[in-house]
Structure 1
């Protein structure tokens, strides 16, 4: 009876609020300035293009999870359409990226509180020991919120979402009333920006980071009412709502910047905390406390939601034999999550928080990991339904092009992380099946490294076409599934150890 009551608890309304919560985190306090710097007056078009791309990726994602609404479906897509060995790089990228976000949001909140908590919180642009202790305390708070289960999470999230949306809308309203100068858009030379900057800004300005919350709903797929209808609706509705919010915020920010700050164009607008800094310049100091309060609420809401999401991802990886078997056990019916998975992700978040230098330093690498994870959606959709292959190929090429806008150093770092984790997995779990490990585990890793060395969007796009058509070909997919079915008849490696 307990299990039946816990199943399918999330309505469409709560699901939309859940996604919106994750898409209005710490990014809203930084993105408007970064987009203006990187795209100038093309900032609005850049936001629209980003939203269209996200909805395209979301369409691929929903096509998979509505057919297979499993717990933690985001990390299981490739294992469902192909096999666990093929899907391991995507699973690691999805899980690893979300785990890093948890630490990033806790760190962002601590940094925003630093001016009020004293100079000892920050040291040379990084959190001090005291600051990191506060950040760990926030992570403990995220854990407690998740500990009391999905029902409490939905109730708390609905309230927090209303507060998160109210605060920026109130700030936008005050800025619109107090200081708006439309001439900011016409008196600044925008000729230095090009169509390439529109695409580049999507990654470097934090748009992917801000919109990434759309995929959270896939991790709760098994707990959504009427998933076939509500999952795609949730993604589309939430992305459009958040797009409208970011467009309004972008207009308000760019129109409210005083003329004296635009002597060097939009590139010259460089404030450490853009929204707070702008209100101070305009003499709207009464908004300071409200903004600082929201800077605690917004990142924290993303943090505790992603902690729950990442635990479901790790649970799913364990079910597909991509992680130790104990991580898919001990599901408390009152809490709605795997306790071991939750604690592992909490520990990883703590480690990253203690090692991280700054919020900005993690944003691009997190975005790169997100892009790698997104690639699983069009591949899995096309493998499960060959009729969707043309659309899936287009989305895959677009994601590849976005990857090429990531700084080379961050591409290298993410490739090293994913390759290390994947090769480690293949050595441990595939040592008795070397041929299969190379056949299923290496193609995507080779694709990632070939994209890194290509240094050209055209070459990278050609490589994307070749790789996509290869891994979605019926013979390759059938070979993957044959190996998967054979492996599922064997006990989990962890179970063998337990029996011994």
Structure 2
């Protein structure tokens, strides 16, 4: 699965595709079918298609950046390369911290499913992890650390085997559910509920964040984090992104249909339609309700392997992003030290693991943590069209469209989650800028940091969609203009 180049192992297209696919079948597939139905009803399928199209557009922007800079942790470094490290700081932080938080979320998802399976409050009580639940989740985190400590060769070997199992389980689950559905001889009854009329296109758009679709798809960018360790990245990374998104979209669409049709019609009536459906562990509870105990056992096993495989891969990706930030001076330089044998930064891995453990210790529920994580993901995605437009001016109009869509998507975040994202990034950028004030000068720091922070806060205070479109377009055209890019680069040259 690898070839040698300059004495270093390189991952192939298959390994790169499986790395992304692995992270797109994490904890999301265990929860998102129910959440999407609750958010969007019959529009659930449109929600998946819209989410897939959006992440593919972001992926194509990112692929253009990687074709110019095929480096470790490319998304975190994108704006640092095309502008400077100060301008790129909020995107780097959002990318790193969003992926880091996923590591904790995946460990929590496994614990939540196990708690439901044993039917006890030993692990989770009042929708929060107990001390025993946190100890179990921390043990799962320790396993992620062990797998990552020996570099990409170990990671991809384990990952290629686990991915086969991870892809088999959703396919097996949806096949069994479809058999149940077609055996009933009343296909479509769950799609003709009177309450279904309450949903509309906007419901599908809101579900992209609220139901965890972006969270589920976020794995598309993992192959980009490993850019410098993948064979022929200019060709293989865009292919890996596209192939993984197409494959996983087909899986998720099929699973959504199977879930929505398999729920007993009477259960939906009793709960007042899709909005009232609230299984604690959706697929596991549904299998038990249908008397499919063999499927319940398989789902229980997968609730351990699927999130865990995403967790250890994300720990590897986040360590490479932290390494990339250290490399360009956004984090302490001592983190940018590679192990000569395994070609990884073990210091970055350890720092990320400790931070993931802290996040996990303070987390409440999977769904709440997932929404906040997604807010950071969207901010980090913004780096792709911005950097692409700066590096290749001919691509600015495509980048503008992608950026506007991301701005509109941020509007669907809960106001409390959006406030947390805006405030945390503002505080971090202010601290970082303060440390560089003597070197860069106050007026340059304002020019580098103020435009994006002003734009980010406008998303919090403005609710009108047309105003958001106008603000997004104005911001993007300003910061991707040749004058602004050259001004930022002039500081980078002296940095």
TM over 0.5: yes
Of residues 349, 355, 365, the one that matches 1:342 is: 349
Q: Report the TM-score, using the length of structure 2 for normalisation.
A: 0.96
Partners in 2 of 1:304 and 1:260 — Cα distance?
40
Alignment of 1:158-307 (within 5 A): 158-180=160-182, 181-189=186-194, 190-263=196-269, 264-307=272-315
* DSSP 3-state at the match of 1:321: coil
Written as runs of structure 1 = structure 2, the 5 A alignment for 1:53-72 is 53-72=54-73
Shift in Å, 1:200: 0.7
Per the alignment, residue 380 of structure 1 pairs with 387
1:418 aligns with 2:425: yes
Q: Which moved more, 1:110-119 or 1:358-367?
A: 110-119
Deviation at residue 183 of structure 1 after TM alignment: 2.4
Distance apart, 1:333 and its partner CA? 3.2
Cα-to-partner distance string for 1:79-125 (whole Å, 9 max, x where unaligned): 01100010000000000101111011111111222243953222222
Asked if 2 retains the 8 angstrom alpha-carbon contact of 1:23 and 1:214, the reply is yes
SS of the counterpart of 2:329?
coil
Q: CA shift at 1:130, angstroms?
A: 1.4
Partner of 1:39: 40
Cα-Cα RMSD: 1.5
Aligned to 1:496: none
The whole-number CA distance in structure 1 between the counterparts of 2:5 and 2:249 is: 37
- 2:318 corresponds, among 285, 310, 328, to 310
Contact 1:261 1:268 in 2 (8 A): no
Matching of residue 397 in structure 1 with residue 398 in structure 2: no
Instruction: Pick closer, same or farther for the CA change 1:423–1:296 going to 2, 3 Å.
Output: same
The answer as to whether partners of 1:2 and 1:333 remain within 8 angstroms in 2 is no
Conserved? CA contact 2:455–2:471, under 8 Å: yes
Shift in Å, 1:423: 1.0
Query: Aligned ranges for residues 77-92 of structure 1 at < 5 Å?
Result: 77-92=78-93
Q: Which runs of no fewer than 5 residues in structure 2 stay unpaired?
A: none
- Please report how far the alpha carbon of residue 2 of structure 1 lies from its aligned counterpart in structure 2 after TM superposition: 9.1
Q: State the shift of 1:431 in Å.
A: 4.1
Deviates more, 1:439-448 or 1:390-399: 439-448
Query: Bigger CA drift: 21-30 or 124-133?
Result: 124-133
CA–CA distance in structure 1, aligned partners of residues 157 and 189 of structure 2: 42
1:88-167 to structure 2, matched below 5 A, reads: 88-114=89-115, 115-116=117-118, 118-167=120-169
2: CA distance between counterparts of 1:186 and 1:326? 57
Mapped partners of 1:382, 1:182: distance in 2: 48
Counterpart CA distance in 1 for 2:4 and 2:394 is 40
- Secondary structure of the residue that 1:441 maps to in structure 2? helix
For residue 120 of structure 1, give the secondary structure of its aligned residue in structure 2: coil
Separation in 2 of the partners of 1:256 and 1:431? 63
CA distance in 2, matches of 1:159, 1:202: 30
Q: Distance in 2 between matches of 1:229 and 1:2?
A: 18
**Post-superposition offset of 1:357:** 1.0
Per-residue deviation, residues 257-306 of structure 1 (Å, max 9, x unmatched) = 11111212221222111101111111112222211110010000111001
| Residue 424 (structure 1) shift | 1.1
Structure 2 Cα separation of the partners of residues 404 and 106 of structure 1: 28
Inter-partner Cα distance in structure 2 for 1:170 and 1:44: 20
| Alpha-carbon separation, structure 2, partners of 1:302 and 1:214 | 12
Choose 183-192 or 341-350, whichever is displaced more: 183-192
The number of residues matched between the two structures is 485
Higher mean C-alpha deviation, range 374-383 or range 32-41:
32-41
Aligned-partner Cα distance in 2 for 1:116–1:283: 17
Please state whether the residue corresponding to 2:122 is helix, strand or coil. Answer: helix
Distance between the aligned counterparts of 2:364 and 2:341, measured in 1? Answer: 37
Aligned counterparts of 2:478 and 2:316: Cα–Cα separation in 1: 35
CA distance in 1, matches of 2:181, 2:369: 33
User: In structure 2, what is the Cα distance between the partners aligned to 1:294 and 1:422?
Assistant: 40
1:457 CA displacement:
1.5
Q: TM-score, normalised by structure 1?
A: 0.95
Residues 325-382 of structure 1, C-alpha deviations (whole Å, 9 max, x = no match): 10101x1133221111111101100100111111111011111110000000000000
Give the whole-Å Cα distance in 1 for the aligned partners of 2:289 and 2:189: 16
Alignment partners' CA distance in 2, 1:333 and 1:164: 32
Q: Secondary structure at the match of 1:109?
A: helix
Displacement, 1:184? 2.5
